Amino acid sequence: MNFGDDEEMNDDSQDVLNEVAPAKPRGPPPNIGKKPVPKKKAPVDDDEGMNDADPPKKAPPARLAGKTAAAASTGPVKAAKAEDIQEEDIGSGMSKDQAIEKVSEFYDASTVAKFEEAKWQDKVEGFNEMKQAIESLQPDKTIVEATCKFVKSKMKDFKESNLNLMKETANVFLCMTQHCEDIPKRAVACFTPFLCEKIGDIKISGPIKEALLNASESCTAKFISI
């Protein structure tokens, strides 16, 4: 073997080893572990800062400007005070004795007599007969007022504790508001203590509310509310 061939083989082997050998590992980047230096902000011009402010508010349309000015000129609306609502002077009307006299003339004597009985059942019968007479005869406002004052006197000025009689008291008033054309204000005023006290009682509130609604057509809703 010639020495020249050996040298060529050695050179070729060295080239192969250089190709096969792994490359040297790279070192870490030079900036690893160092904090980045913050960049300085460019100064903001005063004119530019003013441009970033909120834009001015737009004025209301012309068609609404007049209404807004009118509302501002009138000022707040004053609510009605208790002293502004005054009770109407309706007078005392007929006395209890006068009412009993007129009731005795208008209704049957047997009907009026049942209100003098001691048993509540007899008084309930008197109420039923009275309602029948009201439905058929449709008394005028004078008899309506007399009837209310008569019932008030016979129910111990509405201090009667019997539930059945209290129901009939409300029902007879409802009957008058349903069948009589005119319910005088004195009649409503006469029943006011009873109506105000018992309107919250679920057992008799139904006819009371309906009677007040009917009476408002004659006496006006304002009078009923007062």
Instruction: Give the CATH number, domain containing residue 150.
Output: 1.25.10.10
73: in domain: no
Asked whether 121 and 160 are in contact (CB, 8 A), the reply is no
Is there a domain that residue 184 lies in?
Answer: yes
Residue 2, in any domain of the structure: no
Domain limits for position 191: 96-225
Question: Is 150 within a domain?
Answer: yes
pTM metric for this prediction: 0.60
For residues 219 and 173, the answer to whether their CB atoms sit within 8 Å is no
What are the start-end ranges of the H helices in 75-225?
96-106, 109-113, 120-137, 141-154, 163-179, 185-198, 205-219, 221-225
Give the model's pLDDT for residue 81. 47
Nearest Cα neighbor of 166 from 124, 115, 134, 213 is 124
pLDDT in tens, the chain (226 residues): 444 454 455 555 555 445 545 555 566 666 565 666 666 665 555 555 455 555 566 665 555 555 555 555 555 545 444 344 455 556 678 999 999 999 999 999 999 999 999 999 999 999 999 999 999 999 999 999 999 999 999 999 999 999 999 999 999 999 999 999 989 999 999 998 898 899 999 999 999 999 999 888 877 777 776 5
Residue 153 lies in a domain: yes
Domain count, the chain: 1
The Cα 148–Cα 170 span in angstroms is 11
